[in-house]
């Protein structure tokens, strides 16, 4: 369960720290590559609601692209605190959402949107106050390249597998995916590591060498433990 308290703690943690803890636990692949926040300084935390597109095929677009299609259904159904994560097949030459859908997501209380395709009306979307991470901006509608297909299945986004309910965290470095069963452990470990790294950074700012300090040898470790115990 991604409680409000856990959300706040995750919001204070860089994706770099979370990525390190995921890697320590045998999960080096849970990073969504190639996406950036449309607005500077965005911080994204939520649980994944997934949406899968397939390559454009005109007959399937005719049967699945109009009306209240899978894309629009997902945006109408998103729950507060969820992040809509879109498999846009890494193709940034068509939008995978636009301003009206992003607005709907914000009104539903969504925590944000991640797509490895492009965003239309990118300037308007960037101004909505909703964290949106994308591979780029493009004026074209999704039907130029995609058919909206289904929601709430396991997808691939930016080279990472994402399941509904996975915890999604994004900042200026990118977006990471945390399996829900690990989120407590990863959060606590990243906090501890961040505290230690902040202390290391303070020593480096005082002129200390990396050698022996980063990572810490026994001497530095003793000093660190002593100061923390004080």
Query: 65 to each of 54, 83, 147, how far by Cα in Å?
Result: 11, 22, 6
Q: How far is CA 41 from CA 37, 129, 199, 226, in A?
A: 8, 11, 24, 35
141 contributes a contact to a second copy by CB under 8 A: yes
The answer to whether the beta carbons of residues 187 and 6 sit under 8 Å apart is yes
Closer by beta carbon to a second copy, 11 or else 57: 57
Count the alpha carbons within 13 Å of 115 in the hemisphere toward its beta carbon: 31
Nearer to a second copy, 111 or 178 (CB): 178
Q: Which is nearer to a second copy, 6 or 16 (CB)?
A: 16
Q: 89-101 b/e with 16+ CB inside 10 Å = b?
A: bebbebbbbbbeb
Residue 117: CB minimum distance to a second copy, A: 13
Region 91-120 residues binding a second copy, contact defined as CB under 8 A: 93, 95, 98-101, 103-104, 107, 120
Closest separation in Å from C-beta 41 to a second copy: 8
Q: Pick from 3, 11, 109, 140: which binds a second copy (CB under 8 A)? A: 140
Which of 4, 5, 68, 229 is the binder for a second copy (CB under 8 A)? 68
On the 0-12 / 13-18 / 19+ scale of CB atoms within 10 A, 215 is exposed
**Which tokens in the block code for residue 92?**
């940034």
Nearer to a second copy, 2 or 17 (CB): 17
Q: Binding to a second copy (CB under 8 A): which residues in 117-136?
A: 120-124
* Touching a second copy, residues 180-209 (CB under 8 A): 197, 200-201, 204-205, 207, 209
Q: Is 221 in the site for a second copy (CB under 8 A)?
A: no
Smallest separation (angstroms) from a second copy to the CB of 3: 22
Pairing of strands 146-151, 44-55: antiparallel
User: Quick one: which segment of 1-9, 10-18, 184-192, 222-230 binds a second copy (CB under 8 A)?
Assistant: 10-18
The strand pair at 146-151 and 167-171 is best described as unpaired
- Of residues 32-61, those binding a second copy (CB under 8 A): 33, 41, 54-60
Among positions 158-177, residues that touch a second copy (CB under 8 A) are 159-161, 163, 171-174, 176
Whichever of 127 and 228 has its CB closer to a second copy, that residue is 127
Minimum separation from the CB atom of position 225 to a second copy (A)? 19
């Amino acid at each position: 369960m991604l409680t409000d308290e856990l959300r706040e703690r995750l919001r204070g943690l860089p994706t770099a720290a979370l990525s390190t803890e995921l890697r320590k636990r045998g999960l080096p692949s849970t990073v969504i590559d190639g996406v950036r926040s449309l607005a500077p300084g965005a911080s994204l935390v939520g649980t994944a609601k997934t949406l899968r597109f397939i390559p454009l095929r005109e007959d399937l677009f005719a049967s699945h692209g109009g009306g209240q299609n899978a894309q629009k259904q997902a945006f109408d159904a998103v729950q507060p605190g969820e992040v809509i994560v879109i498999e846009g097949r890494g193709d940034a030459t068509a939008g995978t959402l636009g301003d009206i859908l992003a607005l709907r997501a914000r009104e539903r209380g969504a925590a944000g949107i991640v797509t490895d395709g492009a965003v239309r009306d990118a300037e308007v979307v960037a101004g909505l106050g909703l964290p949106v991470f994308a591979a780029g901006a493009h004026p074209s509608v999704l039907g130029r390249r995609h058919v909206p297909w289904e929601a709430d299945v396991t997808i691939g986004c930016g080279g990472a597998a994402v399941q509904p309910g996975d915890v999604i965290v994004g900042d200026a470095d990118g977006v990471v995916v945390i399996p829900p069963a690990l989120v407590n452990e990863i959060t606590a470990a990243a906090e501890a590591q961040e505290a230690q790294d902040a202390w290391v950074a303070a020593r480096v700012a005082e002129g200390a060498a990396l050698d022996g300090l980063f990572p810490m040898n026994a001497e530095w470790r003793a000093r660190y433990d002593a100061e923390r115990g004080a």
